[in-house]
């Protein structure tokens, strides 16, 4: 092992990552069944948020059409997995590929539009998508909705309800299986995005985000960069949608709506745009906070006195978005950088430079 690698491994950042993964892997063993299903929704949501992070966080293209790509992924999974009995090892990636293809078709609209105009166009995509979903009964079940296939790899690895997996005395149930599958895919997604952000394409995306004109003067192919961002983002959205549909087991076309898109946008704003881990933290806040809030003593579960958990979590969630946009636009990652940047700078080497990471999103 080289000296540089030793130093790298010992750096606080690497330790933080390692600790994070260890916690994530051990988490289901300390959670109740209800908390475990919330954790699974968080992990699955995080995959979609990481995807939107590439498009909006890195390439600066605001999209409110994310729910459409989630829907495309979910229905691709459903058609291939349930109607054609494909193995999950094929239908999960296929869901990503079909969604990416849709992203490729829609991306050219982003070439001529920016900022709010692009946001409006992507809402249009969402509405058209809803109409298509509602009227393609053979794929989506039409307005009544449809069932989604349970993940099935082989007769010995089947995620059906009631099935458990025993690894050295440690039992993983239905929710746990989905949690770990989501975690593995999330890890691969993060590794991909982390690498992407350091490639020529990733840096080109960030240049496009900062100022398109300057980027194009530097010789960056705007069309190629934006299309790549759309394709990557919708690929992850597709995977996320397929897992979400499968874990939820039933969905109606109306579920892939603007609210869902806004939740993903909120996740990357709260977590921190233009960072690798930001969307994951944001997904925890957006998809997991309501469940944490339910455990607070002044929140009433049964509607008799006190404030209802759903109302309270909506308020907290709204206050958080306003708070972060006003006080710390770099999101939770920015907060982290603010608290840790000083001691780390002394250590040299692997610093989290707030000028480089967690940059404030500035649409022009």
Partner 1 sequence: MNRHHLRQVAAVLATAATMVALAACGTSSHSSSATARTSTGFLVGPGVDAATKTITIGNIGAITGPAGPLGIPALAGAKVAVDEINATGGIDGWKLKILFRDAAYVPQQQVQAYDAINGQIAVLQSFGSPTTLAIQPQFDAAKLLTFPLSWDSAWDKDPLLAPVGTPYALDIANGLHYLITVKHLGTKIGIVYQNDEYGADGLRGLEAASKIDGIKVVAKATYAVGDTDMTAQAEAMKSAGAQIVVVTALPSTAGPLVGTAASLGYTPTYLFQGPSFVEQLVTATGAFGATATPIAGALSKDTYVMSFVTPWGNNVPGMREMLRWQKRFAPTQIPSIYFAWAYAQTKVLADVLRKAIESKNLSRAGIDAARLNVGTVYTGGLTPPVAYRPTLGPPSTGSIINRVDSKVQGFLDPVATNIKSPVDSTLG
* Shortest reach from residue 5's CB to partner 1, in Å: 5
Site residues for partner 1, 183-202, by CB under 8 A, read 184, 187-188, 191, 195
Q: Decide if residue 169 touches partner 1 (CB under 8 A).
A: no
Assigned token pair, 150: 């349970």
Decide if residue 41 touches partner 1 (CB under 8 A): yes
Contact 179, 36 (CB under 8 A): yes
In the block, tokens 């989501």 appear at 182
Nearer to partner 1 by C-beta: 58 or 178?
178
- 97 contacts partner 1 (rule: CB under 8 A): no
Could you say which of 18, 83, 164, 199 contacts partner 1 (CB under 8 A)? 164
Which 272-331 residues touch partner 1, going by CB under 8 A?
290-291, 301-303, 308-311
Q: Out of 4, 30, 213, 322, which residue is the one contacting partner 1 (CB under 8 A)?
A: 4
Contact in structure between 193 and 276 (CB atoms under 8 Å): yes
113 to 152: interface string for partner 1, x by CB under 8 A? -----------------x---x-------xxxx-x--x--
Instruction: For residue 289, report the phi and psi dihedrals to the nearest 5 degrees.
Output: -60, -40
Pick one of 5, 128, 218, 325: the residue that binds partner 1 (CB under 8 A): 5
Query: Is the CB of 168 or the CB of 219 nearer to partner 1?
Result: 168
CB of 177 to partner 1, least distance (A): 7
Indicate the angle between helix axes 12-30 and 33-52, nearest 10 degrees.
140
Is 349 a binder of partner 1 (CB under 8 A)? no
- Give the chain's end-to-end CA distance (angstroms, integer): 46
Based on CB atoms, which residue is closest to partner 1, 160 or 319? 160
Q: Reduce the DSSP state of residue 85 to 3 states and report it.
A: coil
* Nearest in space to 78 (alpha carbons), one of 233, 235, 250, 237: 250
Judged by beta carbon, residue 19 or residue 188, the one nearer partner 1 is 188
How near is the Cβ of 250 to partner 1 at its closest, in Å? 4
Q: Any contact of residue 340 with partner 1 (CB under 8 A)? A: no
Angle at the Cα of 107 (from 62 to 57), degrees rounded to 5? Answer: 30
Measured from the CB atom, the residue of 30 and 326 that comes closer to partner 1 is: 30
Please report how close the Cβ of residue 272 comes to partner 1 at its closest, in angstroms.
23
Rounded Cα distance between 30 and 187, Å, is: 21
Q: Is 12 in the site for partner 1 (CB under 8 A)?
A: no
- From 30, 112, 138, 162, residue interacting with partner 1 (rule: CB under 8 A): 162
Residue written as tokens 């994070």? 20
Count residues binding partner 1 (CB under 8 A).
61
For partner 1, the binding residue among 28, 35, 270, 328 (CB under 8 A) is: 35
Measure CA 362 to chain center.
21
CA-based R_g, the chain, Å: 21
> Helices 258-271 and 331-347, interaxial angle, to 10°?
20
Residue keyed to tokens 């299309």:
227
CA distance 261 to 81: 25
Q: Tell me if residue 158 falls in helix, strand or coil.
A: strand
Tell the burial category of 156 from Cβ atoms under 10 Å away from its Cβ (0-12, 13-18, 19+). Answer: exposed
One symbol per residue from 247 to 276: x for binding partner 1 (CB under 8 A), - otherwise; what is it?
xxxxxxxxx---------------------
Residue number, 173 or 212, with CB nearest to partner 1: 173
Is 175 one of the binding residues for partner 1 (CB under 8 A)?
yes
Assign 172 to helix, strand or coil.
strand
- Coil, helix or strand for 181? helix
- Beta carbon of residue 132, minimum distance to partner 1 (angstroms, whole number): 13
Cβ-contact 29, 173 below 8 angstroms: no
Residue ranges binding partner 1 (CB under 8 A)? 2, 4-5, 8, 32-38, 41, 130, 134, 142-145, 147, 150, 153-154, 156-167, 173, 175, 177, 180, 184, 187-188, 191, 195, 247-255, 290-291, 301-303, 308-311
């Amino acid at each position: 092992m080289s000296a540089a690698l030793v130093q790298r491994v010992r750096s606080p950042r690497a330790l933080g990552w390692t600790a994070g993964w260890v916690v994530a892997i051990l988490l289901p063993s300390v959670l109740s069944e209800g908390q475990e299903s919330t954790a699974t929704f968080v992990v699955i949501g995080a995959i979609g948020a990481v995807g939107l992070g590439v498009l909006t966080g890195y390439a600066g293209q605001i999209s409110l059409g994310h729910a459409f790509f989630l829907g495309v992924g979910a229905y691709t999974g459903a058609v291939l997995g349930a109607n054609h009995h494909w193995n999950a090892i094929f239908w999960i990636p296929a869901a990503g590929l079909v969604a990416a293809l849709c992203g490729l078709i829609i991306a050219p609209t982003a070439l001529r539009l920016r900022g709010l105009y692009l946001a409006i166009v992507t809402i249009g995509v969402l509405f058209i998508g809803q109409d298509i979903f509602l009227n393609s009964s053979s794929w989506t079940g039409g307005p009544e909705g449809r069932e989604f296939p349970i993940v099935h790899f082989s007769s010995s690895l089947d995620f059906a309800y009631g099935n458990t997996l025993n690894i050295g005395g440690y039992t993983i149930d239905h929710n746990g299986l989905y949690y770990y599958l989501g975690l593995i895919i999330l890890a691969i997604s993060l590794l991909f995005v982390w690498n992407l952000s350091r490639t020529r394409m990733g840096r080109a995306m960030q240049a496009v985000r900062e100022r398109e004109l300057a980027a194009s003067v530097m010789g960056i192919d705007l069309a190629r960069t934006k299309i790549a961002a759309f394709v990557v983002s919708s690929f992850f959205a597709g995977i996320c949608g397929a897992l979400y549909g499968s874990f939820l087991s039933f969905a109606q076309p109306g579920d892939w709506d603007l609210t869902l898109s806004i939740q993903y946008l909120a996740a990357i704003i709260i977590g921190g745009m233009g960072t690798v881990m930001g969307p994951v933290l944001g997904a925890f806040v957006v998809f997991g906070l309501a469940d944490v809030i339910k455990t607070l003593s002044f929140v009433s579960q049964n509607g008799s006195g006190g404030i209802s958990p759903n109302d309270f979590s909506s308020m907290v969630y709204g206050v958080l978005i306003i708070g972060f946009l006003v006080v710390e636009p770099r999101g939770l990652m920015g907060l982290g950088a603010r608290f840790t940047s000083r001691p780390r700078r002394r250590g040299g080497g692997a610093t989290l430079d707030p000028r480089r990471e967690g940059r404030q999103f500035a649409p022009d």
